[in-house]
Structure 1
Amino acid sequence: MLTNKILIKTQVSLLVAGTLGICANAPAANAKTPQVMFDDFSYRKFEDAQENGWQIREEVGHPGIKNATWWKEGITFHPDPLNQSNTVMRITSKTDGTAENTRHTQICHNRKYKEGTYAARVYFNDAPQYGPDGDAVIQTFYAISPLKAPMDKNYSEMDFEYLPNGGWGTERLALFATSWETFQLTPWTKVNAYDYHIESLQGWNTLVLQVADNTLKYYVNGHLFAKHGADVYPEVPMSINFNQWFDPNKLVQSTHMRQYYQDVDWVYFAKDQVIEPTTVVQAVEQLRKQKVAQRDTVPDWKPKQPDYCSL
């Protein structure tokens, strides 16, 4: 059960339930085949994923430890430890507390996503693979656009962020859902709405975000735990991202290297469709039964947006 959350902003809006990406109240004769991006990450090397629109961040900069490296080698593909017949994408990051030896990791898909249903199955870890525990590491699934200028109103970002060692005002582990209107780095100023849910999510979790009718609904494992409104609703197309980074404000006082990872089993997006979490899982299961490892029928944004994998 989802308990112990703190609601910062809420706005109620009517959403229409969907079935396999088709609105439940739409006449069957008018139903359209959903435009979908699906990837189950059945790759052997990143170059294979790159052919399907994925790119890795290499640009130094915010967020995380200042001047740290964004690490191409942090993206790998492995058999699922719990199901050797399944392949997952692994996102690995490490630090000894210094910028020189910190490796953040981020992977991004084309900037063409706005309204619809976003989903991913993600494995979160509460402890490092090795080294001392306690760093504020952030494990994520999110969508984002470039910030063209400080406090730019035409900015969009929607985040699932898991902090297994706490941070951002809580000493306990938490999953944050944050929707952004805008921000600036210096001096730090933000306009957003957020909720957080305090509970260990060690292991596999299904994350679903519905974006429609000026409302954003965040679900974890089928439970609604955050709802945000028109004041933080996206205005521009975004890229889909996963990353893992360290908050410099909460690091273990140790020079020993420590390494964390999160795994991603699959990612799914249905354009302009509101789909319930159970139906998303059914749609993914159906794609896998059909031996579909990757499908992308979501058209490029018009005008086409340049690739974006930063911030």
Structure 2
Amino acid sequence: MPLFFFDDFSYATLPQLAQSGWQLREAAGHPGVPGGAWRPEAFTLHDDPQRPGNKLLRMTARTDGTPAGTVQAQICQQRKFLYGTYAARVRFTDAPVQGLDGDPVIQTFYAVSPLQHAFDPQFSEVDWEYLPNGGWGSEKTRLYGISWQTVQVEPWESHNSAHEEFRALDGWHVLLMQVEPGQVRMFVDGKPVARHAGRNVPVVPMSINFNLWFSPGGLLPPSAEPRVYQQDVDWVFHAREARLRPAQVAAQVARWRRAGTAHLDTVPAPQPALESRCDF
């Protein structure tokens, strides 16, 4: 029987997230707009209009085109996940809920370890990044599925394998990653889209993260009215050292929900426990 982590974010208040191992980012720094803020107030809990009794975790990022007027959101779980199946149901948005459209906003679900130094050989990351307004040197709308070997942040130089889905993905989607020694398989809404292998795969325990931020290049000019974007998370899932198909994950999540299981964590922390930060 696999060891599981599951959370459907059915909390009454945001402070309860900490009881389940979540941190809301406050630390400055990479990624995003230099000088922009990361704030816990960027998170809210909402009733699910499509499923009575269900809660959604919402991230809200805003910018007026200046560093001082930019607020971004990130939430991080403990650093204790490596091989196994990761999945999340998220709602991407193509347009802002307020203000002009066009800022290079990035909406994500990922797992990552700290970068101890440039080209750290132990760095590990596997992630999904949705760019409805483009970014990273291209104006195309796309979803990245990326598995990393290592990176240097300044000046930027990365070593990874990246898959790109060139299409709009406004709305709800299930993103899934099967992480094994030597390979990563990636699925969107049950469809296999990429397999990454060789050196571009995780090698050390990671934390599970979601964040919503703006690419530092390409912001629209400063404006009096902020541009406001949102991303919702319904649930997140991990099965330790088990390769589960998308249908198996969906069935397990449905069983937990029928049983009223809103949070489950049987994945043990490494001994000694690793530092769990929320700043990358």
Task: State the AA in 1 paired with 2:10.
Answer: S
Question: Could you tell me which of 92, 102, 107 is aligned with 1:124?
Answer: 92
More displaced stretch, 299-308 vs 70-79: 299-308
Unaligned runs of 5+ in 2: none
Does the CA-based 8 Å contact 2:61-2:229 persist in structure 1? yes
1:197 CA drift (Å): 0.2
The CA deviation string for residues 102-146 of structure 1, in whole angstroms up to 9 with x for no partner, is: 001000000000000000000000000010000110000000011
What's the C-alpha RMSD, in Å, of the aligned pairs?
A: 1.0
Aligned to 1:209: 177
Question: Could you tell me which of 269, 276, 280 is aligned with 1:300?
Answer: 269
The CA deviation string for residues 193-244 of structure 1, in whole angstroms up to 9 with x for no partner, is: 1011011111110010001141101111011112110211111110000000
Q: Residues 182 and 213 from structure 1, CA distance in 2 versus in 1: closer, same or farther, beyond 3 angstroms?
A: closer
Question: Could you tell me which of 61, 64, 83 is aligned with 2:51?
Answer: 83
User: What is the 5 A alignment of 1:1-311?
Assistant: 33-255=1-223, 256-311=225-280
1:302 CA drift (Å): 2.5
* Structure-1 separation of matches of 2:194 and 2:58: 27
* Structure-1 separation of matches of 2:206 and 2:266: 16
1:185 CA drift (Å): 1.7
More displaced stretch, 79-88 vs 48-57: 79-88
* Structure-2 separation of matches of 1:212 and 1:147: 21
SS at structure 1 position matched to 2:257: helix
Q: How many equivalent pairs are there?
A: 279
Does the CA-based 8 Å contact 2:79-2:274 persist in structure 1? yes
SS at structure 1 position matched to 2:162: strand
Please list every run of at least 4 consecutive aligned residues from structure 1 whose deviation after the TM superposition is greater than 4 angstroms.
Answer: none
More displaced stretch, 298-307 vs 90-99: 298-307
SS at structure 1 position matched to 2:2: coil
Task: State the AA in 1 paired with 2:205.
Answer: P
More displaced stretch, 84-93 vs 59-68: 84-93
SS at structure 1 position matched to 2:15: helix
Q: Which has the larger radius of gyration?
A: 1
* Structure-2 separation of matches of 1:270 and 1:233: 18
Task: State the AA in 1 paired with 2:110.
Answer: Y
SS at structure 2 position matched to 1:83: coil
SS at structure 2 position matched to 1:51: helix
SS at structure 2 position matched to 1:281: helix
Task: State the AA in 1 paired with 2:127.
Answer: D
Aligned to 1:15: none
* Structure-1 separation of matches of 2:192 and 2:137: 22
1:78 CA drift (Å): 0.2
TM-score w.r.t. length of structure 1: 0.88
Task: State the AA in 1 paired with 2:262.
Answer: A
The CA deviation string for residues 78-103 of structure 1, in whole angstroms up to 9 with x for no partner, is: 01133343111001110001111100
Unaligned runs of 5+ in 1: 1-32
* Structure-2 separation of matches of 1:86 and 1:185: 39
1:167 CA drift (Å): 1.5
* Structure-1 separation of matches of 2:94 and 2:28: 26
TM-score w.r.t. length of structure 2: 0.97
